[in-house]
Amino acid sequence: MAPTSQRRILAAKEFVRLGFGDAIDDQAPFFSHDFLTQELTTLEAQEVIPVVERFNAFHGVKVAKAIGRFRGRVSGWKFGSAGSPLLLVVLTPWTIHLEEKAGAKPSTKFSPAEVESLIAELRTMFLDELDADKFERDGTNDYVYGAWWD
């Protein structure tokens, strides 16, 4: 993934602003409650997520601050909507794919216990601290998990 970029942050903020449209601005001329950003670094996601100040139990500033503890421990994040806010965390089996170590050599593989520990920490944060309605694996990829706020 590309390193954190102000240009990407500005584009992603506008993308999220358009997507959430009517949830942010009653006069919004356009919206889509089914969209997802490209993968963002933690720093990028922390800038983009607060565009949605509040949506039911979702609090953008609170979520953005909380994910900071995972900086450098994940591959990245995807933010959007599946009818309501959705935040995907992209994990990786190899250290080479961590957001701040992309391309670094040598690379080591995370043990299943390390991956499960990280998932448990994410689950606790999303469900207990951030009031997400669910946190589970997204589809068939063992390394992508999502938090949904309905």
Instruction: Please tell me the total count of domains within the chain.
Output: 1
The answer as to whether 47 is a domain residue is yes
The answer as to whether 102 is a domain residue is yes
| pTM as predicted | 0.92
Would you place residue 100 in the very low, low, confident or very high pLDDT band (cuts 50, 70, 90)? confident
Specify whether the backbone of 56 is left (phi greater than 0), alpha (psi in -120 to 50) or beta. Answer: left
- Containing domain of residue 13, as a range? 6-148
Question: pLDDT per residue over 8-65, tens digit each?
Answer: 999 999 999 988 887 777 776 777 889 999 999 999 999 999 999 999 999 999 999 9
Q: Which helix (H) or strand (E) covers residue 122, if one does? A: helix 112-124
CB 40, CB 51: distance < 8 Å: no
Question: pLDDT per residue over 73-85, tens digit each?
Answer: 999 999 999 999 9
The answer as to whether 1 is a domain residue is no
| Residue 49, CA atoms < 13 Å, CB-side half-sphere | 26
